[in-house]
A and B are shown apart, each in its own frame.
Chain A
Amino acid sequence: MSMKTTKVDKALREELGTKEFTSMLTLCEQCGVCSGICPLSKLTDFRVRKMILKAGLGDNSLIESPDLWLCTMCYACLERCRSGIQVPEIISVLRTLATEEGKLPDSSSKVARLFLKTGYAFPLSGLTAKMRKELGLGELKVDKKAVNDVEKLTKKTGLKKLVEGS
């Protein structure tokens, strides 16, 4: 039986390499250990075991679902999976793909844009400046060299275009 190639299928193949992708498909036992340890399981409808099943089937609905953004990269599943399935890596490939389709959540987009603009993932506020002074710590400034370098590196490696468009 030949299966139609979907964009999820294609991205996973390209990013993870054909070999790993095949072993991912065949090696996931669907044992559910990952869902058992994942803190999201008892609080939401997200089940990581099902996500891996769908990923193996190249199911495009994965990149439409807000659930894709729930994983906090806590690595608990990675540590427990006896088959060595790289769950966080698979989720990352899907997030990149979803971002290309304009589905990056606002909160993450804000962090990424701030990082590209200032080199920091958190805003420098007047309140912190006051606190730093009071505590006798050095002044915190946006470092021009850091910002320029980050711009060059992320331009070359993809993040800039992914987040800001071309």
Chain B
Amino acid sequence: MTYYAFYPGCLISARLPFLEKSSRLVLGELDVDLENLDSYSCCADPIILKPLSFDSWLAVAARNIAIAEDAEMDLLTLCNGCFCSLNEANHILKNDGKKKEDVNEVLKEVDMEFKGSIEVLHVVQLMQEMGQERILEKVEKRPNGLRVGAHHGCHLIRPRDVAQIDDKRRPTVLDELVSWVGAEPVSYAEDLLCCGGGLMGVDEKTGASMLSSILDKMRSAGATHIVTPCPYCFVQFDYRQEEDPFPVLYLMELYGLSMGFSPDEMGLKHHRTKTEDWGF
């Protein structure tokens, strides 16, 4: 058994609980034990909140990390946004003694302390660590002609030196994870660009154009489905495609289908983009 402090993040908890469900099923199958800890808050998010107040962002992130530290477990997240914030904050505070001192001064307000004793992991990293062999032991089904437009999402891979997920100039970690279970990643231009999700509040038209540009590239590359490990990208792809939409799978949903879980038990009916064909 491997234990992790489970940090699903507020987008998944509050809006996309079916992604939490598939993740729990898959991780359970892989003998990962998820500890549910109390009183986390939003990470704080890297797109809207972080640019408003760096100091507040750092203090809130440090508090969330400290909750997992007190439980003496590494923190596992399902979300690119949470990963970006918590991992970067962890990185900053472990390497900058002055910032750590300052943040701990602030954390005294809530009787907490950042120690620097744990790691922050995205579920993608956990899969990388486990390796293909261990995952294949649990795989029961191979997909049938599933050609995937794999979209990493910005905050999984950048900034590269902080994320430390894939140090290639053109990261391919998601393509690898997708191909492990027998799906075929297609190579498309704009695979590393922003999906436009972060723009939907401020400028919907531009956000939608970013999305459709990526969809065009996936289409010309012959994709049949989209796979992403990011719930923000998931919302953008699943809620906002217009004509002839691709079915969208969160990475843990792809793995769940491979492991033989049914669309019903994973709650795939809650996707906005409806399909009968999940590629299996």
Interface size on A, residues (CB 8 A): 62
With both beta carbons as reference points, the residue of chain B lying nearest to A99 in the complex is identified as B52
Q: Is B147 an interface residue (CB 8 A)?
A: no
Q: Which of A44, A73, A119, A140 contacts B51 (CB 8 A)?
A: A73
Interface SS of chain A:
helix
B10, B193, B210 pick with most chain A CB within 10 angstroms: B10
Q: How far is the CB of A82 from chain B (nearest CB, A)?
A: 13
Find residues 106-139 in chain B having any chain A CB closer than 8 Å to their own CB: 106-107, 109-110, 112
Give the residues from 16 to 73 in chain B that come closer than 8 angstroms, CB to CB, to chain A.
Answer: 17-18, 20-21, 24, 36, 38-42, 44-60, 63
B53–A157 touching, CB < 8 Å: yes
A111 contact from B20, B48, B109, Cβ within 8 A: B48
Report which residue of A73, A143, A146 has the largest number of chain B beta carbons within 10 angstroms of its beta carbon.
Answer: A73
Contact between A72 and B194, CB atoms less than 8 A apart: yes
Distance A149 CA – B56 CA, assembled complex (angstroms) = 12
B53 touches A73 (CB 8 A): no
Q: Is B209 an interface residue (CB 8 A)?
A: yes
Contact of A74 among B10, B55, B194 (CB under 8 A): B194
- Once bound together, how far apart are the Cα atoms of A143 and B150, in whole Å? 35
By a CB distance below 8 angstroms, the chain B residues around A159 are 49, 52-53, 56-57
> Do the beta carbons of A121 and B42 come within 8 Å of each other?
yes
Which residues of the other chain, A, contact B47 by a CB distance below 8 angstroms? Answer: 72-73
Are the CB atoms of A128 and B106 closer together than 8 Å?
no
> Which partner residue on chain B sits nearest A148 by CB separation?
B110
Q: Does B17 lie within 8 Å of A135, measured CB to CB?
A: yes
Known: A78-B158, A99-B52, A115-B44. A108 touches B202 (CB 8 A): yes
A36 to chain B minimum Cβ distance, whole angstroms, is 12
Contacts of B109 in A (CB 8 A): 149, 152-153, 156
B198 located at the interface, meaning its Cβ lies under 8 Å from any Cβ of chain A in the complex? yes
User: Contact between B160 and A79 (Cβ–Cβ < 8 Å)?
Assistant: yes
A43 to B55, CA, bound (A): 32
**Measured between alpha carbons, how far is A135 from B267 in the docked complex, in Å?**
7
A122–B11 Cα distance when bound, in Å, is 6
A105 interface residue per 8 A CB criterion: yes
- Which of A4-12, A26-34, A48-56, A89-97 forms contacts with chain B? A89-97
Nearest opposing residue in chain B for A73, CB measure:
B47
Residue contact B56 to A153, C-beta cutoff 8 Å:
yes
A107 at the interface (CB under 8 A from B): yes
Number of A-B residue pairs having CB atoms within 8 Å of each other in the complex: 184
Q: Please indicate the chain A residues that have their CB under 8 angstroms from the CB of B45 in the complex.
A: 111, 115, 121
Known: A72-B47, A149-B39. A122 touches B52 (CB 8 A): no
CB 8 Å contact bits of B199-220 with A (1 = contact, 0 = none) = 1011100100110010000000
Residues in chain A near residue B36, CB distance under 8 A: 138
**With contacts A105-B201, A120-B42 known, is A153 near B63, CB below 8 A?**
yes
Contacts of B15 in A (CB 8 A): 122, 125, 128
How many whole Å from A120's CB to the nearest CB in chain B?
Answer: 4
Taking a contact as CB atoms under 8 Å apart, the answer to whether A115 and B42 are in contact is yes
Query: What residues of B have a CB within 8 angstroms of the CB of A119 in the complex?
Result: 40-42
Query: Could you say which of A128, A134, A154 contacts B56, with CB atoms under 8 Å apart?
Result: A154
6 A-B residue pairings within 8 Å (CB atoms): A72-B194, A76-B154, A124-B14, A131-B270, A149-B109, A157-B55
Kindly list 8 other residue pairs between chains A and B, CB separation below 8 angstroms, not including A119-B41, A152-B110, A157-B106. Answer: A76-B194, A119-B40, A120-B14, A121-B48, A135-B17, A135-B267, A147-B41, A148-B110
Residues of A at the B interface (CB closer than 8 Å) are 39-40, 42-44, 66, 69-70, 72-76, 78-79, 88, 91-92, 95-96, 99, 104-105, 107-108, 110-112, 115, 119-125, 128, 131-132, 134-138, 140, 143, 145-150, 152-154, 156-160, 162-163
Point out residues on B near A: beta carbons under 8 Å: 10-11, 13-15, 17-18, 20-21, 24, 36, 38-42, 44-60, 63, 106-107, 109-110, 112, 154-155, 158-160, 192-194, 196-199, 201-203, 206, 209-210, 213, 267, 270
